[in-house]
């Protein structure tokens, strides 16, 4: 309005966003006769630093009123007569800055929305979804109750919990923006935003994302391993859509494209297979679009968004041919990522609006509790790096945790409770997490996907020395507990064919059998685990116990007593938790 040109130029959503976030307008294009106070107000409205920027229209109104009250001489009179038009220009630019995250290639003005959305407390900060029409956002939060879905209209300032969605995770929208799909209680469910109870549609013991096309077909990942399935919201039984091949562990987080038949999805697997794929409900071999560590999202009409090295990037994408046709550009820096789930903290509406969560983690605090649950105190400082998987050393002086610090890469870190300080323990660019101390405190086992599939590694707790690959196979694995003599490690592995967890033993140290022979030890005799694992596996996944035994030496003490609980060590009267 003041210059006859756009303040920020870009070809489409992604490039415009990048220009808004990284560049300044060309201030030299402003008219020379523009009052100095108005120029100052324009700069404050477009300030990149949120602390220095005008936060809302109320602040701008006060500045404008102050400018109107200033005395004017005869030379300034013409300028004052057209001040109303200049003010209109200021208000428009301020609004454009606030809604820059949802620029669209459509000429119609979008409804008002806020740049920053504050949610109730949540342990799942990355689980949210914009509605296709861009009017609502659904997210997972707890607030003062259980974890459940919350709904907020973007032209409102308050969000409301959705009754009946307790335990919900990974929400997604119907194509008409009237219903939400989610996972809870081992089921794929749907709920209408107009009201009413949720409806269970299919079994989904560990759902990992879904998509809903205009025909009422829901494409979803039912578990942590295996292919994508489909189910109709009208009638019928679920059916398999994709199939995992050699080197692939799971298919997850699908999204339908414009025609409602083609879709993109994420494949977890080896370095040669992992990435974002393009597939079709009509069959055919899916095609890998790009190697990636997170699932992607389609930003209409022709951009593919995903997280690369911690930044949200967009690349040109032909939805009809399934081809990438250019290099990615950065849309936003420091976007949150759940490294273990391969899920990025961003969502895109059908009209091209983008919502993302920076950092991706709430402040977490290690806390001491007595056995009876009484709060004793805290350990260390509050942490904003996705602090997770705390594991107390046998002597109680250190805690091994998972932190996501550098380029959204998860690593094992050690917190010294006695002297203070935090030290990085693993340094591989892959995801290293779920640490587990050996009984004598000299070694730490952890899982890592540095070879594609999650394998189990062991490293001296002193940090001196290299990691040792303890167990490698085609199934994803994670350590659960050491035997009390440190010779065996109990771990679980996820079968990509059945999507079931099974528990197995791995010998860590070689031993000689006094009898000169080895025996086959049934898994049931080694099970002295926390109730958590038993309940979690039995109720959520179904634990297979067939052939889950290992050939090993007969220990000197009874087999049933060689594997102690992970917690509640003798003399340890406290536990540490998040």
Reported as a single tens digit per residue, the pLDDT across 467-490 is: 999 888 877 888 888 888 888 888
Is the predicted pLDDT of residue 453 greater than 90, yes or no?
Answer: no
Q: How confident is the model at residue 271 (pLDDT cuts 50, 70, 90)?
A: confident
Distance between CA atoms of residues 222 and 205, nearest Å? 6
Q: What is the pLDDT of residues 518-551, one digit of tens each?
A: 333 333 333 333 333 333 333 333 333 223 333 3
Determine phi and psi for 61, rounding to 5 degrees: -60, -40
Q: What is the pLDDT of residues 283-321, one digit of tens each?
A: 889 999 999 889 999 999 899 999 988 889 999 999 988
Starting at the edge strand found earlier in the chain, the sheet holding 453-460 runs: 432-437, 443-451, 453-460, 468-471
Mean pLDDT computed over 233-238: 84
If one compares 36 and 448, the residue with the highest pLDDT of the two is 448
Please tell me the predicted confidence (pLDDT) of residue 15.
55
The average confidence (pLDDT) of the chain is 75
If one compares 137 and 562, the residue with the highest pLDDT of the two is 137
Mean pLDDT computed over 169-194: 96
If one compares 18 and 158, the residue with the highest pLDDT of the two is 158
Distance between CA atoms of residues 168 and 164, nearest Å? 9
Please tell me the predicted confidence (pLDDT) of residue 85.
34
Distance between CA atoms of residues 288 and 245, nearest Å? 13
Please tell me the predicted confidence (pLDDT) of residue 507.
64
Is the predicted pLDDT of residue 173 greater than 90, yes or no?
Answer: yes
The answer to whether the peptide bond before residue 228 is cis (omega within 30 degrees of 0) is: no
If one compares 282 and 567, the residue with the highest pLDDT of the two is 282
Q: What is the pLDDT of residues 45-55, one digit of tens each?
A: 766 655 555 55
Please tell me the predicted confidence (pLDDT) of residue 115.
56
Q: By mean pLDDT, which of 7-11, 229-233, 268-272, 304-308 is the weakest?
A: 7-11
Residue 143 gets the label, from left (phi > 0), alpha (psi -120 to 50) or beta, of left
Please tell me the predicted confidence (pLDDT) of residue 5.
64
Please tell me the predicted confidence (pLDDT) of residue 123.
79
Is the predicted pLDDT of residue 71 greater than 60, yes or no?
Answer: no
Is the predicted pLDDT of residue 240 greater than 60, yes or no?
Answer: yes
Q: How confident is the model at residue 129 (pLDDT cuts 50, 70, 90)?
A: very high
Please tell me the predicted confidence (pLDDT) of residue 574.
54
Tokens 């409602």 sit on residue? 260
Per the structure block, which two tokens stand in for 542?
Answer: 């179904």
Mean pLDDT computed over 214-228: 93
For residue 151, CA distances in Å to 139, 159, 192, 547 come to 7, 5, 11, 47
Mean pLDDT computed over 240-260: 92
Is the predicted pLDDT of residue 40 greater than 80, yes or no?
Answer: no
Question: What DSSP element (H or E) covers 306?
Answer: strand 303-308
> In three state form, how does the secondary structure of 99-150 look?
CHHHCCCCCCCCCCCCCCCCCCCCCCCCCEEECCCCCEEEEEECCCCCCEEE
Distance between CA atoms of residues 149 and 159, nearest Å? 10
Q: How confident is the model at residue 516 (pLDDT cuts 50, 70, 90)?
A: very low
Indicate the Cα dihedral angle 138, 143, 147, 150, nearest 10°: -20
Is the predicted pLDDT of residue 273 greater than 70, yes or no?
Answer: yes
Q: What is the pLDDT of residues 363-405, one digit of tens each?
A: 678 888 887 778 888 887 877 777 888 999 999 999 999 987 7
Is the predicted pLDDT of residue 170 greater than 70, yes or no?
Answer: yes
Q: How confident is the model at residue 103 (pLDDT cuts 50, 70, 90)?
A: very low
The DSSP symbol for 554 reads P
Mean pLDDT computed over 172-200: 96
């Amino acid at each position: 309005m003041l210059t006859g040109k756009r303040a920020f130029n870009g070809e489409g959503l992604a490039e415009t966003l990048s220009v808004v976030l990284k560049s300044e307008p060309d201030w030299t294009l402003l008219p020379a006769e523009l009052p100095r106070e108005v120029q100052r107000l324009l700069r404050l409205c477009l300030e990149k630093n949120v602390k220095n920027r005008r936060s809302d229209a109320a602040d701008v109104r006060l500045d404008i009123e102050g400018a109107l009250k200033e005395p004017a001489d005869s030379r300034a009179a013409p300028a004052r007569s057209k001040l109303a038009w200049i003010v209109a220009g200021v208000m428009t630019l301020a609004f454009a800055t606030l809604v820059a995250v949802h620029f669209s290639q459509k000429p119609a003005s979008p409804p008002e929305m806020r740049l920053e959305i504050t949610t109730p407390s949540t342990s799942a900060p990355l689980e949210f979804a914009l509605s296709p029409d861009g009017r609502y956002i659904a997210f997972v939060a707890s607030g003062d109750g259980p974890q459940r879905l919350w709904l907020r209209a973007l032209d409102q300032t308050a969000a409301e919990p959705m009754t009946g969605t307790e335990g919900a995770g990974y929400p997604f929208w119907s194509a008409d923006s009237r219903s939400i799909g989610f996972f809870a209680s081992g089921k794929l469910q749907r709920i209408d935003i107009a009201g009413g109870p949720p409806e269970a549609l299919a079994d989904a013991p560990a759902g990992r994302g879904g998509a809903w096309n205009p025909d009422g077909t829901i494409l979803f990942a039912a578990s942590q391993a295996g292919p994508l399935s489909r189910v109709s919201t009208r009638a019928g039984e679920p059916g398999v859509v994709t199939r995992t091949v050699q080197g692939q562990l799971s298919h997850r987080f699908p999204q339908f494209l414009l025609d409602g038949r083609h879709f993109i999805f994420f494949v977890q697997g080896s370095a040669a297979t992992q990435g974002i794929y393009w597939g079709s409900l009509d069959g055919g071999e899916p095609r890998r679009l790009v190697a990636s560590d997170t699932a992607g999202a389609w930003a209409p009409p022709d951009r593919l968004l995903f997280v690369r090295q911690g930044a949200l990037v967009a690349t040109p994408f032909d939805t009809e041919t399934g081809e990438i046709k250019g290099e990615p550009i950065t849309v936003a820096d420091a976007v949150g990522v759940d490294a273990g789930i391969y899920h990025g903290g961003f969502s895109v509406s059908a009209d091209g609006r983008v919502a993302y969560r920076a950092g991706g983690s709430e402040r977490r605090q290690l806390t001491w509790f007595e056995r009876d649950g009484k709060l004793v105190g805290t350990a260390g400082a509050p942490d904003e790096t996705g602090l997770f998987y705390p594991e107390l050393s046998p002597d109680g002086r250190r805690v091994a945790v998972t932190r996501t610090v550098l380029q959204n890469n998860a690593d094992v870190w050690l917190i010294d409770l006695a002297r203070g300080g935090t030290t990085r323990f693993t340094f591989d660019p892959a995801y290293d997490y779920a640490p587990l101390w050996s009984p004598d405190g000299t070694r730490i086992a952890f899982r890592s996907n540095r070879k594609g599939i999650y394998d189990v590694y062991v490293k001296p707790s002193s940090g001196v020395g290299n990691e040792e690959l303890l167990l490698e196979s085609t199934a994803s694995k994670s350590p659960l507990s050491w035997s009390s003599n440190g010779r065996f490690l109990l771990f679980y592995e996820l079968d990509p064919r059945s999507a079931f967890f099974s528990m197995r033993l791995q010998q860590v140290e070689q031993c000689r059998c006094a009898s000169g022979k080895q025996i086959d030890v049934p898994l049931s005799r080694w099970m002295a685990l926390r109730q958590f694992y038993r309940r979690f596996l039995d109720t959520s996944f179904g634990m297979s116990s067939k052939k889950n035994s290992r050939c090993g030496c007969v220990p000197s003490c009874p087999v049933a007593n060689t594997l102690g609980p992970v917690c509640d060590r003798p003399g340890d009267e406290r536990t540490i938790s998040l």
